[in-house]
């Protein structure tokens, strides 16, 4: 059974993912979590504090459930990149494309108006780009990445393409549109593969 703090964080993460930060009130979080206001403020000083903690938890889950299993040490870098790009499509099939990317949603909503969120999200996307760049670097070390490929630029392109695919899927509630965009991204990436 989840602790009170975990119940609050779970409810906050779900609501902010689907509704956004500004369209999620503390009362909504209390209703969704089933805890009292005193409990919420015992653990969190403010809505910002709570949402930062929920964001940290989302990042931890992405790392544990997606990044660590997909990018495990010693794996084939090309298979890892393909698995990473397949994961969001599988998730979108389960969710019916509802919600989109929890991080991308917050970037769009908060980065121009809340420096704290912008900085945390910038760091999270920077770490994701670094993971992809390191994976491409392993492909280079194996001799399977096209000579002259800029791994940082390519990593940023992959993240941008993935976020665009999330957005299209969410906008049109169409998994196939999302899948098609990601397949095109894979086709582009394959042009950098040797052997």
For 101-135, how does the pLDDT look when each residue is reduced to its tens digit (9 = 90+)? 999 999 999 999 999 999 999 999 999 999 999 99
Q: How far apart are CA 164 and CA 151, in angstroms?
A: 20
pLDDT exceeding 90 applies to what percent of the chain?
95
Q: Record the tokens describing residue 108, joined without a space.
A: 């769009």
State the average pLDDT for the chain.
95
For the four alpha carbons of 81, 83, 85 and 88, in that order, the dihedral sign comes to negative
pLDDT at residue 1 in the model: 67
pLDDT value at 40 more than 80: yes
Q: Looking at the predicted structure, is the pLDDT value of residue 147 above 90?
A: yes
- Is the pTM higher than 0.85? yes
Q: Burial, 34: exposed, middle or buried (Cβ in 10 Å; 0-12, 13-18, 19+)?
A: exposed
At residue 195, the pLDDT reads 81
Show the domains of the chain with their CATH numbers: 1-57 (1.10.10.60), 71-195 (1.10.357.10)
Q: Which tokens is 60 given? A: 């931890």
């Amino acid at each position: 059974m989840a602790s009170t703090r975990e119940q609050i964080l779970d409810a906050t993460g779900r609501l902010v993912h689907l509704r956004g930060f500004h369209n999620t009130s503390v009362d909504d979080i209390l209703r969704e979590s089933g805890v009292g206001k005193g409990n919420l403020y015992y653990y969190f000083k403010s809505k910002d504090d709570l949402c930062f903690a929920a964001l940290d938890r989302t990042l931890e889950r992405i790392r544990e459930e997606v990044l660590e299993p997909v990018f495990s040490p010693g794996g084939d870098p090309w298979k890892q990149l393909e698995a990473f790009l397949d994961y969001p499509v599988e998730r979108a099939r389960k969710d019916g494309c509802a919600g989109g990317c929890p991080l991308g949603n917050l970037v769009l909503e908060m980065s121009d108006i809340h420096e704290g969120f912008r900085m945390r999200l910038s760091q999270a996307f920077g770490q994701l780009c670094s993971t992809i760049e390191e994976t491409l670097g392993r492909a280079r070390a194996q001799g399977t990445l096209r000579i002259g490929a800029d791994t940082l630029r390519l990593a940023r392109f992959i993240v941008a393409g993935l976020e665009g695919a999330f957005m299209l899927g969410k906008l049109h509630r169409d998994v196939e549109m999302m899948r098609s965009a990601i397949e095109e991204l894979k086709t582009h990436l394959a042009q950098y593969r040797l052997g």
